Amino acid sequence: MDDAQLLHRLLGGDERAFRELVTRYHSSLVRTARYYVNSDASAEDVAQDTWIAVLRGVSNFEGRSSFKTWLLRILVNRARTTGSREHRAVPFDPTNAESVTDGRFNQNGGWSEPPAPFTDAIDDGIANERVIALVRVAISHLPSPQQAVVTLRDVEGLSTAEVAELLELSEANVRVILHRGRARVRNEVEKELYGGAT
Amino acid sequence: MRTRANDLVCRAAIELMSDYIEGSLSRRDRRRLERHLAGCPDCSRYLEQMRLTIDASGSVSPDELAPEALDDLVEIFRAFRREDGD
């Protein structure tokens, strides 16, 4: 069932529809909130408040944007308020892309330790369950700006422009953070598949 | 193969890959990267793995929610319904 159908049922008071929406989006809400607030517990609280706001506001939802975008906007507004109350400085990206693979090139910039094949991770050309599970864990280990950006862009499928608007970053910045996050996720998958080869 | 002055080394090539997948590289960088990829199986493999990782991210199902977290929210939902009914 798609979001619009669930929303329709939610308006009619259907508890199962609410459960389904929570199950679908709660973890992305928490990950995105974590970008703004000081702790995991605080991110949980913001996500919970967001669902309360959804229940309050759902009858006014006009469907001009998708439910997902509407939901994430509510979350970001709340997370931002909570973050500023906590005097949290929104983190800049502390990692440097090259540090992920730095030791793997020779001094001429060619691979000294080339990427190991992901043979076990692919069935008929697509990612199998094992790699999907590894990717999920790797995303949850990303540092906070990368985690929010990779979650919104690659897990939730928002466009780069939407991510930039939502997080109030430039698109160029989103692309840099995205690149670093993706490189890190790829590396962690490789490490897991090859038992710490990197 | 003769190397040209603006040829990419592998270390620089992988820095362009996410933008390449996004379709946001300049035409010049795209050509440089494609030229590099044509002669570099290792970087081609890296690109393929980057694509696979992104595809897999799109298939990540929501994290298992702690039952208490879901229960709390369902409680809130029920309280809301009661209020609504009043």
CA distance A88 to A21: 29
The residues pairing with A105 across neighbouring beta strands, listed in sequence order, are A111
Cross-chain Cβ contact A22/B10 below 8 Å: no
Task: Check residue A61 and give its pLDDT.
Answer: 87
> Tens digits of per-residue pLDDT, A114-169?
999 887 777 776 778 888 999 999 999 998 889 999 999 999 999 999 999 999 99
- Measured distance CA(A189)–CA(A82) in Å, rounded: 34
Cα B25 to chain centroid distance, Å, stands at 16
3-state secondary structure of A64: coil
Interface test with B, best of A15, A21, A23 (most B CBs within 10 A): A23
- Maximum Cα–Cα distance across chain A: 64
C-alpha B80/C-alpha A195 separation (Å) is 49
CB of A121 closer than 8 Å to CB of A189: yes
Query: Who among A13, A97, A132 is closest to B59 (CB)?
Result: A132
Sketch out chain A's domains with CATH numbers: 3-85 (1.10.1740.10), 103-193 (1.10.10.10)
Partners of B84 on chain A (C-beta within 8 Å) are 13
User: Does residue A184 surpass a pLDDT of 90?
Assistant: yes
d(CA B28, CA A100): 26
Query: Per the CB < 8 Å rule, is B55 touching A139?
Result: no
In chain A, which residue's Cα lies nearest the Cα of B81?
A13
pTM for the whole thing? 0.86
Q: Which of B19, B36, B60 to mutate to test the interface with A (most CBs of A within 10 A)?
A: B60
Q: Which segments of chain A does DSSP mark as H helices, in order?
A: 3-11, 15-33, 40-57, 67-85, 97-101, 129-140, 144-150, 160-167, 171-193
Rounded-to-integer distance, Cα B13 and Cα A120, Å: 25
Alpha-carbon gap: A122 to the closest alpha carbon of chain B (Å): 9
ipTM of the shown complex: 0.84
pLDDT for the residue A119:
76
Please give, rounded to a whole number of angstroms, the shortest distance from the CA of A100 to a CA of chain B. 11
Distance of CA A17 to the CA centre of its chain: 23
Residue of A nearest to B44 (CA): A115
- Tokens representing A132? 């999907």
Q: pLDDT by residue (tens digit) across B39-69?
A: 999 999 999 999 999 999 998 877 767 778 8
- Determine the 3-state secondary structure of A141 from DSSP: coil
- DSSP for A89-109, please give it: PPPP----HHHHHGGGB-TTS
Least confident of A21-25, A180-184, B61-65, B69-73: B61-65
- Please name each of the domains of chain B with its CATH number: 10-85 (1.10.10)
Cβ-based neighbours of A52, under 8 Å, separated by 6 or more = B76, B80
Q: CA–CA separation, A86 vs A105, rounded Å? A: 42
Angle at A161 between CA A160 and CA A163, to 5 degrees: 65
- Which of the two residues, A182 and A193, has the higher pLDDT score? A182
CA distance A83 to A88: 5
- Give the whole-angstrom CA distance, residue A77 versus residue A49: 11
